[in-house]
Amino acid sequence: MYDWEDSPELNITPLVDVMLVLLAILMVIAPNIIYEENIKLPQGSISKQLSEIPPIHISIDKEKNIKINKDNYQLNSFMDNFSLYAKKLDLKATVLISADKTLDYGVVMSILAAVKQAGFTDVSLATNG
């Protein structure tokens, strides 16, 4: 006679062993599987070459004489002259400001403000070391 109170027990140990072996095999083989799909890319314009934009060097000596690349300017008229000078330059160019260490902080910041007001975004202050 069968006892209806007893519940059958499943032995899942062999199933877990088989799954772990399959998982180990998959982990070893997966890095070696290479999936490649051929894609035909459109042709780009070869005639347009990337050109490097020359940087703009602004130097200020201790007498407050300002030199932009090779052009000389006075401090009191720099704001107006630089806005006119910047119209013929690329605004994506890097601006490097070099100032004498004896200059007042406000002088250098006024030059920096003029450069930012002209539309340049990549501005650096040069240091020694």
Per-residue pLDDT of the chain (129 residues), as tens digits, is 566 777 778 888 999 999 999 999 999 988 888 777 777 777 766 655 556 788 889 888 888 888 988 888 888 888 888 888 888 888 888 889 898 888 888 888 988 988 898 888 888 888 775
Instruction: List C-alpha distances in Å: 32 to 27, 28, 35, 111.
Output: 10, 8, 10, 59
Which one-letter amino acid corresponds to residue 13? T
pTM (predicted TM-score): 0.56
Q: Which domains does the chain show, CATH number per domain?
A: 56-125 (3.30.420.270)
- The backbone torsions φ and ψ at residue 55, rounded to the nearest 5 degrees and listed phi first, read -75, 160
Find the Cα–Cα–Cα–Cα dihedral 34, 40, 46, 52, rounded to 10°: -40
